[in-house]
Amino acid sequence: MKYTQEINNKVLKLHFEGDLIGENNGPEVVELANDAIANGVTHCMLNISDVRYINSSGIGVLITLLTKFRNKTGDLYIIKPSDHVNKLLIMTKLQAIFNIAESEEEALQKIKK
């Protein structure tokens, strides 16, 4: 998996590409989130539109990120999950705990509320 990061107005923006297999990049991404939170970041927008596959460890990474931001009175927004990932979120009933948005603009509107 490849990813890019950007921090803007206390929002960490991550864009994942490829396969989200938690054992490979999970600890690195969690550490990145820890550093961002330590520097005052309160929300995370996670664009996974280019994620082809996600395994159980990848789901664990998403849940860990969600927990870390919610524990700091922030939140995690999943941006435009691919069809495969969206089906997985529905099957596992995780779409009920994640904030899912179709675009960064939609997520930003929810953050501002």
Per-residue pLDDT tens over the stretch 35-79? 999 999 999 999 999 999 899 899 999 999 999 999 999 999 999
Q: How far apart are CA 50 and CA 2, in angstroms?
A: 10
Does the pTM of the predicted model rise above 0.85? Answer: yes
Amino acid letter at 25? N
Give pLDDT, residue 24: 80
Which tokens sit at 83? 């069809």
